[in-house]
Structure 1
Amino acid sequence: MSVPHDAAGPTGRAEGPGGAVPGAMGDPAYLLTRLGGSWTWLMGSALVSLVPGVLVLVWPEATLHVLAVLVGLYLLLAGVFRFVAVFAREGHERLPGLLLAVLYVLAGVLCLRNPLQTIAALSLIVGMVWLVSGVLTLYTALVTKDLPHRGLVMGLAVLAVVAGIVVLALPTESARALTRLLGLWLVLLGLCEAVVALGLRSALRGARPRTGDTPLSRP
């Protein structure tokens, strides 16, 4: 779960007249920072989790091949969203997010590279992703200052760790069982990210200066 570090989206750069940052439009790192810290990007990440989760739940008779493709595409897209979200964090807080993004992309490639793999192999990939992502998300929630919705993020991280341990310790014996577990988790993750995105939207609106307000002079 990717959560921007600051609802106001600080960039650490001096702003010019009108809030513009000199040279920002030509700086890819700055653009990724603004994009990764926006509520729309987080909402997009929520949809990436929610849509496949709903598809998996309403299509329980999907074959293992279809399930592996859906999981692979979800992991690849989630990795991209998490990679961009890394730029919205402080420098010392980027490593866990970067590791998580790489994990998602590698797991997605493994699922798509051999979609006809056994249910045991797919369960192993999903279980490892849940376990490692839960540990990294929990670490980020503990060390990140002023993290929005810290309790929600920590609770979701603990659930991911538990789900990963369950899948690895008690591998599912059928595609239907894994489908239900995966679908429920993706829907839960997507809803939580949507809540955080809407909360970030409200925070950003509240931080905007009202019309007629005079900006404070900076030292």
Structure 2
Amino acid sequence: MTNPDTTAPASVLPGLLRVHRGQLVAVAVIGLVLGIVAILFPGASLLTVAILFGIYLIASGLFRITAAFVAEGLGTGMRWLSGLLGLLIMVAGVICLSNPFQSLVVLAVVIGAGWILEGIVDLAGGVRGTIHPRWFGWVSGIVSIAAGVAMFVLPAAGVLALVSIGGILLIVVSTTTLLALPRRSENPA
């Protein structure tokens, strides 16, 4: 007597591979298109990201305001905090939508600050010997600090460069996904 649990996966596997393969193809094709658009139209891509970010902030703010009214178990102070925070987030979203490129400059400055802090940590790790080899910590720290300073000095150019590099990487990843697809079975079950 055979156990039905042991035969089920073998009979389901071709169907799962077909669905999985189709999903991978769709995601890879979308990735290729988005990567090409990001490289050909970096300004439009940035504008789209800024607009989507603004919409996200407005939706997030609305969620927090709604939560302030309907969440169970919140004290009065937390309700006020959630509502005010939601209002501030919504205002930030409206500001992003009113001047999307300015919000990208703010994003570039935040990225730059993060890279500078990361560079300081890497330099300290190289000096203290916690990163091996030590020179790698120094090089990594110097490169991170230089990239952070570049984002401060030329934030718009820095964000455009990130979009272009991201587009190239998206094309590479999507292409490798297509090349690594599971092969179709010759005799379907």
What's the TM-score bracket when you normalise by the shorter of the two chains?
Answer: 0.3 to 0.5
User: TM-score normalized by structure 1?
Assistant: 0.34
Under a length normalisation based on structure 2, what TM-score does the superposition of the two structures give? 0.38
